[in-house]
Amino acid sequence: MKILYAASEAYPLIKTGGLGDVVYSLPRALNRLGDSVRLVLPGYGQVLDEAGPLDVVAEWDIPGAGTVHHVRILQTQLEGLGERLYLVEVPALFGRPGNPYVQENGIDWPDNAERFTVFSRAVAMLALQSPDPDWQAELVHCHDWQTGLVAAFLSQSPQSPATVFTIHNLSYDGYFSHQDFTRLHLPAAWWSPDYIEFYGGFSMLKAGLVFSDRVTTVSPSYAKEICTPEFGYRFDGLLMFMGDKLTGILNGIDLDTWNPASDRYLAAHYGAIRNRIKSKRINKTDLLQTVGLPDNDAPLLGFIGRLVHQKGIDLVATMLPELFEQSTAQVVILGSGDKLFESSLLALAKQHPERLHVFIGYSESLAHKIEAGCDLFLMPSRFEPCGLNQMYSLHYGTPPIVNDTGGLADTVVDTTPTTLKNRTANGFVFRETSADALLDCTLRALDCLAHPRAWHQVCRTGMQQALGWEASARHYQQLYQLEISP
């Protein structure tokens, strides 16, 4: 199958979260299974700088808001990133430094509607007018709201390839005004609740849901949850009526990048059985030295992620003083996001300098060191479409403490006498979204840590779980086949 992947980020060129990991790993897994996947990304300045030699393979004039942009499609081949990478170069829209979606102050780029409409038009043109006569996309797979309009533009052509749209996080809906709709020359007929109009504005995510042949999301539980008002962000009615057009397919993890037996950021390597206890201790010392916490035998807990309400970081901040009272635990937090959460965590770290280290920013190496060096991993998300960090922590023998939601519920089995007996226990799950429930669950996990037999079994069960991409990639293949086969 020839498949064009369109997304707004991909590891290692540009990544802000799990989307970047998936867009890197899933095409690799599909290529390994014999498909031909090519990836198209916006030509952000930093991506063009890092992508090496680029060929111009197409040039088009594409309307933006009040101006026509001269768009160049650049092509390169980058080790690991699909079999070919296309970059949509529009310097006025993507040539700026910084985060792909937000300005330095955390507020969205004011021209996001224009940026991702022009990008989506270019992707649709690339799918219809392949610059490579030997390669014509049979299917276009788009990811999240930034690519929502691709299927809409493709629907205007009788030659459109099949389309799949994946929701990585429904709470980011690409919502813009009627004024943007008009300025971007979107077809008047689309201004309707049956198409992309949404509560007085329009939503690019809705365009992906409405116009694509298939919609997927990244775990079976989240696929069910988003059909309810609590998790549906006002799309629940639309999603509920989709029936089997909507599927939940669990993400995998990239075992080349996230593997404690070969991870280049670790002080010592290990497997589920081989060297685990000894090497984890070395990694713990390395992590504690890296962040400047005292090296002792106190339990060490980690958190990595965007510091936003979704991730339950406020629950962590609320429970920490009590946890420090009731245990000897130390905690390392890595993340960035909401300025209020950032400053309250930094203030807390000042009050507990021997117990808490907070690193505000993005650090690939520290993320790997935390996964390997901690005893337990905190992931109390209010909702979690799939979540990758809990899977990394399972694979690194660092049992996760999670809320019972979405992909967390699909990957983590709470430790109880029954699950210990049937050898499925791999972490700790709480069922009420509150700081008290998180604290109780964390104390329960610390108690288990003090019982070596049960503890080592829980660690080994997580490490031996099949978490790679192959099973998910096969599931996607089956879905693609349904759309491509006549």
Site residues for ligand ADP per CB under 6 A: 17-19, 21, 169, 304-306, 334-336, 362-364, 367, 386-389
Of all helices (H) and strands (E), which one includes residue 282?
helix 276-291
The smaller minimum CB distance to ligand ADP, of residues 366 and 445, is found at 366
Query: Which lies closer to ligand ADP via its Cβ, residue 124 or residue 304?
Result: 304
E strands along 66-138, which residues? 68-76, 84-89
In the block, tokens 């030997």 appear at 134
**How many other β-carbons are positioned within 10 Å of the β-carbon of residue 244?**
7
Strand ranges in 175-324 using DSSP code E only, listed in sequence order: 175-176, 197-198, 201-203, 214-217, 246-248, 300-307
Nearer to ligand ADP, 221 or 336 (CB): 336
| Cis peptide bond upstream of 12, omega within 30 | yes
**CB of residue 307 vs ligand ADP: minimum separation in angstroms?**
8
Cite the beta strand spans of 406-480 per DSSP E: 428-430
Could you tell me the strand order of the sheet in which 214-217 lies? 55-63, 68-76, 84-89, 36-42, 2-6, 139-143, 162-167, 214-217, 246-248
Which residue's beta carbon is nearest to the bound ligand ADP? 18
CB of 134 to ligand ADP, least distance (A): 35
Question: Which residues partner with 295 through β-bridges?
Answer: none
Nearer to ligand ADP, 142 or 304 (CB): 304
Least CB distance from residue 132 to ligand ADP, whole Å? 32
- Phi/psi at 442 (nearest 5 deg)? -65, -40
Does residue 207 contact residue 155 with C-beta atoms inside 8 Å? no
- Cβ proximity to ligand ADP: between 89 and 384 the closer is 384
- Cβ 317 to ligand ADP, closest distance in Å? 16
Kindly report the length of the chain: 486
Nearest distance, CB of residue 266 and ligand ADP, angstroms: 15
First to last CA, the chain: 14
Residue 334 near residue 359, CB atoms below 8 Å = yes
β-bridge pairing 36-42 and 84-89: parallel
Question: Least distance in Å: CB of 99 to ligand ADP?
Answer: 12
* Cβ-based nearer residue to ligand ADP, 21 or 410: 21
CB of 465 to ligand ADP, least distance (A): 16
Q: Which residue's CB is nearer to ligand ADP, number 264 or number 453?
A: 264
Bridge partner residues of 164 (DSSP): 141, 214
Question: What's the min distance (Å) between Cβ of 236 and ligand ADP?
Answer: 20
- Give the position of tokens 């070395």: 282
Rank residues 288 and 334 by Cβ distance to ligand ADP and give the closer one.
334
**Minimum gap (Å) between residue 104 Cβ and ligand ADP:** 16
Return the number of the residue (18 or 161) whose C-beta is nearest ligand ADP. Answer: 18
